[in-house]
Amino acid sequence: MTPAQLSDLLARVRKNHPLVHHITNYVTVNDCANITICAGGAPIMADAIEEVAEMTGIVGALVLNIGTLNHDQVESMIAAGHVANEKKIPIILDPVGAGATRFRTETARRLLEELDITILKGNAGEIGVLAGADGKVRGVDSAGLTGDPIAIAKAFAASSGLTVAVSGPTDIVTDGRRVLLVENGHPMMGGISGTGCMAASVTGAFAAESDDPVQAAAAALAALGIAGERAAARSRGPYTFKVALFDELSLLTPAEFGAAAKVRSI
């Protein structure tokens, strides 16, 4: 992605304030709402079966996050997902903790089977589990996977027909043909709860304004990563970092974004 493409995409998000419908966990939901606003989007959280289909019908993207899944919420994800698929609204799936319990693994697989997911964003362990590549998950944290993560993500994206985004020190985004690597970010992002969930929310906002899921995901991860780099320079510990992370994403201009993003294709 060129700096101009990155700048343009952020500028569109900031101008159009795309609605991003979240069906997500109750742990980091407030962080997801605020980071969506800081990116330029407008968050909506709704998970009642009575309204999810109608709500999804009006939005720019749908984010599904299984961080505290339960039976009713999964049914709402399916119902909302069908509407998103009909209306060509991009769906971002964050399979939080896939591999930690059978319920999470099977739910993530079910969502991938029943819905046309646009972007699957997870850590290396979660993606490894879903790709059948011996991923290891400790609670909701990655404990790595066996093999080359780029090759695994690429093969999984190609076979499943979706864009795969693997978060890590270097983020990997691939649709099976193209591979973009994102080298923005800071280790302090791993020192608070919720940065993974936030990355999915920002990806939702960007995907709503882009026809290219690979570019949308890479740009989103770069934007949050740059905010993390800037926040780390201003913080005393993990929570001043968290506070600064929101500020810095909000203050990031399209021009600064194009200049600071480290996105390269391989």
Q: Please give the Cα distance from 40 to 28 (Å, whole number).
A: 19
- Quote the least distance from Cβ 252 to its own copies, whole Å: 10
The pair of three-digit structure tokens given for residue 216, joined into one six-digit string? 């949308």
Q: Is 21 helix (H, G, I), strand (E, B) or coil?
A: strand
Identify which of residues 54 and 114 has a Cβ nearer to its own copies in the complex.
Answer: 54
CB 31 within 8 A of CB 6: no
Residues binding its own copies (CB under 8 A):
19, 25-31, 33-34, 37-38, 42-48, 50-51, 54-55, 58-59, 67-72, 97, 100-104, 138-141, 191-194, 236-240, 242-248, 250-251
CA–CA distances in Å: residue 25 to residues 63, 74, 104, 217: 11, 11, 13, 21
Chain mean position to CA 67: 13
Identify which of residues 63 and 164 has a Cβ nearer to its own copies in the complex.
Answer: 63
- Quote the least distance from Cβ 128 to its own copies, whole Å: 17
Task: Find residue 63's DSSP bridge partners.
Answer: 22, 92
Identify which of residues 67 and 185 has a Cβ nearer to its own copies in the complex.
Answer: 67
- Quote the least distance from Cβ 119 to its own copies, whole Å: 21
Identify which of residues 154 and 242 has a Cβ nearer to its own copies in the complex.
Answer: 242
CB 74 within 8 A of CB 50: no
- Quote the least distance from Cβ 211 to its own copies, whole Å: 23
